[in-house]
Amino acid sequence: MAEICDVCGEPLGENNVSRCLICGGRFHMAWSIDAPVKNCGQAWFDERSCSLGFICTPCISENPQLRRSLIDTGGTPF
Ligand SMILES: [Zn+2]
Ligand SMILES: [Zn+2]
């Protein structure tokens, strides 16, 4: 079962895959900092339901108002 990422069109692995809250598409999302996977979306915090979700990059581009609730998962040095 070769599933394809809705964002970049490359095959998805068994892990590091998330489903977009907006379009329902599946895309690459590294679940850990070290995962050898690029992110085709971002983590997003829903303030109303206080829950965490994921949104793919195209949906973020189409919905700029979502950006303020995005969680920056990259670029944080430890
Ligand atoms: Zn992808
Ligand atoms: Zn989407």
Q: What is the pLDDT of residue 73?
A: 64
Flag whether pLDDT at 78 surpasses 80: no
Cα–Cα distance for residue pair 31/62, rounded to 1 Å: 24
Q: Which ligand is nearest to the CA of 5?
A: 1
Question: pTM of this prediction?
Answer: 0.80
Flag whether pLDDT at 77 surpasses 90: no
Query: Taking the CA of residue 34 as centre, how many other CA atoms within 13 Å lie in the half-sphere pointing to its CB?
Result: 1
- Around ion ligand 1, residues with a beta carbon closer than 5 Å are 5, 7-8, 28, 40
Task: Band the pLDDT of 68: cuts 50, 70, 90.
Answer: confident
CA of 43 to the centre of ligand 2 (A): 12
CA of 47 to the centre of ligand 1 (A): 26
Q: Which ligand is nearest to the CA of 58?
A: 2
Cα–Cα distance for residue pair 59/78, rounded to 1 Å: 29
| Residue 61 CB burial class (10 angstroms; 0-12, 13-18, ≥19) | exposed
The tens digit of pLDDT for each residue in 2-60 reads 799 999 999 998 889 999 999 999 999 988 878 778 899 999 888 888 989 999 999 99
Question: In this structure, how many other beta carbons lie within 10 angstroms of the beta carbon of residue 60?
Answer: 17
